């Protein structure tokens, strides 16, 4: 074979090879494509500082929000919060509008009939808010007085026990801040809600001159994260993450950030 013919053949082969390689390179790289992160939809009633509320920018923030974000990191999922009225929050989970709920929600038997709860992540108790100088000194004094509560909460449960569920003296509000503002306005004589929430409201509204009363009859309540009944896969992931975040000090860190030491 003449030298020039050999060289041309080699040249053509080279060119072909190059085009093939370049062609390959421009093809979408299939192997390096990651599977998209799972998205977990989380319902919360974002009017319950310090656990969940909307900041000036309209972002949902708080103790519960940081906690779920950390859980998301642990289980490699993106979390998406859905602001949901508290009295419809269990239904939104049962109806699969969300996958999970966190809302400073007390674990109790009634709720356990509809949803499954994680291990407890916080312990709280009820407290009473009244105006300075109020004759109310203890929970029993609320009998036959006008009391405000947030609809569907355990605060409502304890007040219904004392006054009777049908009592016209119970005023039910959509949110706890609305109930507390009604106390400031004089529409109700007291409000019963979770102590850390009442405490922070008093601190943020010093001119309202409200006082907080504890009562020994209030039982300790444990907050849990809820998932749909039978969703043991997600529940196990959440519990595993909670264990880890408790051990590595993250839960304590979040608690101190929002509730102080
Ligand atoms: N711990 C109380 C309950 O479970 C009150 C929770 C209210 N939470 C809220 N985000 N509004 O009923």
Distance 105 CA to ligand 1 centre (A): 5
Q: What pLDDT was estimated at residue 7? A: 57
* ipTM field: 0.98
- Could you report the per-residue pLDDT of 100-140, keeping only the tens digit for each? 999 999 999 999 999 999 999 999 999 999 999 999 999 99
Q: What pLDDT was estimated at residue 2? A: 52
Confidence of residue 258 (pLDDT cuts 50, 70, 90): very high
Q: Which two tokens stand for residue 237?
A: 């992931």
Distance 154 CA to ligand 1 centre (A): 7
Distance 57 CA to ligand 1 centre (A): 23
Q: Give pairs for 181-188: CB < 8 Å, separation 24+.
A: 182/148, 183/129, 183/130, 183/131, 183/148, 183/210, 184/131, 184/208, 184/210, 186/131, 187/146, 187/148, 188/146, 188/147, 188/148
Distance 106 CA to ligand 1 centre (A): 7
- Could you report the per-residue pLDDT of 217-230, keeping only the tens digit for each? 999 999 999 999 99
67/8: higher pLDDT = 67
Average pLDDT over residues 37-42: 96
Q: Which ligand 1 atom lies nearest to the CA of residue 108?
A: 4
Whether residue 14 is predicted with pLDDT greater than 90 in this model: the reply is no
Q: Over the chain, what HEC string results?
A: CCHHHHHHHHHHHHHHHHHHHHHHHHCCCCCCCCCCCEEEEEEECCEECCCEEECCCCCEECHHHHHHHHHHHHCCEEEEEEECCHHHHHHHHHCCCCCEECCCCECCHHHHCCEEECCCCEEECEEEEEECCCCCCCHHHHCCCCEEEECCCHHHHHHHHHHCCCCCCEEEECCHHHHHHHHHHCCCCEEEEEHHHHHHHHHHCHHHCEEEECCCCCCCEEECCEEECCCHHHHHHHHHHHHHHHHCCHHHHHHHHHHCC
- Could you report the per-residue pLDDT of 63-96, keeping only the tens digit for each? 999 999 999 999 999 999 999 999 999 999 999 9
Distance 111 CA to ligand 1 centre (A): 12
Pocket lined around ligand 1, Cβ cut-off 6 Å: 45, 48, 52, 86, 103-106, 150, 153-154, 176, 194, 221
Q: What percent of the chain has pLDDT over 70?
A: 87
Q: Which ligand 1 atom lies nearest to the CA of residue 44?
A: 10
Q: Which ligand 1 atom lies nearest to the CA of residue 176?
A: 11
Q: What pLDDT was estimated at residue 3? A: 55
Distance 257 CA to ligand 1 centre (A): 20
Q: Which ligand 1 atom lies nearest to the CA of residue 156?
A: 12
Whether residue 16 is predicted with pLDDT greater than 50 in this model: the reply is no
Q: Which ligand 1 atom lies nearest to the CA of residue 86?
A: 11
Q: Which two tokens stand for residue 112?
A: 């356990």
Q: What pLDDT was estimated at residue 261? A: 83
Q: What is the mean pLDDT of the chain?
A: 91
- Could you report the per-residue pLDDT of 150-182, keeping only the tens digit for each? 999 999 999 999 999 999 999 999 999 999 999
Contact by Cβ (8 Å): 106, 221: yes
Nearest-angstrom CA–CA distance, 214 and 126 = 8
Confidence of residue 8 (pLDDT cuts 50, 70, 90): low
238/36: higher pLDDT = 238
Distance 128 CA to ligand 1 centre (A): 15
Confidence of residue 144 (pLDDT cuts 50, 70, 90): confident
Nearest protein Cα to ligand 1, atom 12: 153
- Is the pTM value of this prediction over 0.80? yes
């Amino acid at each position: 074979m003449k030298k020039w013919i050999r060289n041309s053949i080699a040249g053509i082969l080279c060119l072909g090879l190059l085009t093939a390689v370049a062609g390959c390179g421009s093809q979408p790289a299939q192997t390096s494509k990651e599977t998209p992160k799972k998205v977990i939809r989380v319902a919360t009633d974002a009017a319950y500082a310090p656990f969940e509320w909307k900041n000036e920018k309209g972002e949902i923030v708080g103790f519960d929000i940081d906690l779920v974000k950390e859980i998301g990191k642990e289980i490699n999922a993106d979390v998406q919060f859905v602001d949901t009225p508290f009295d419809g929050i269990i239904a939104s989970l049962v109806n699969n509008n969300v996958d999970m709920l966190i809302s400073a929600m007390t674990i109790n038997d009634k709720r356990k009939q509809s949803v499954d709860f994680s291990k407890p992540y916080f312990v709280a108790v009820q407290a009473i808010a009244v105006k300075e100088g109020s004759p109310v000194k203890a929970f029993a004094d609320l009998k036959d007085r006008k009391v405000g509560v947030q609809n569907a909460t355990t605060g409502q449960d304890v007040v219904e026990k004392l006054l009777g569920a049908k009592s016209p003296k119970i005023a039910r509000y959509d949110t706890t801040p609305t109930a507390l503002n009604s106390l400031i306005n004089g529409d109700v004589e007291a409000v019963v809600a979770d102590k850390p929430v009442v405490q922070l409201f008093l601190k943020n509204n010093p001119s309202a001159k409200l006082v907080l009363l504890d009562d020994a009859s209030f039982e300790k309540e444990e907050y849990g994260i809820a998932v749909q009944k039978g969703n043991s896969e997600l529940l196990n992931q959440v519990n595993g993450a909670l264990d880890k975040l408790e051990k590595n000090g993250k839960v304590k860190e979040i608690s101190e950030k929002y509730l102080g030491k």
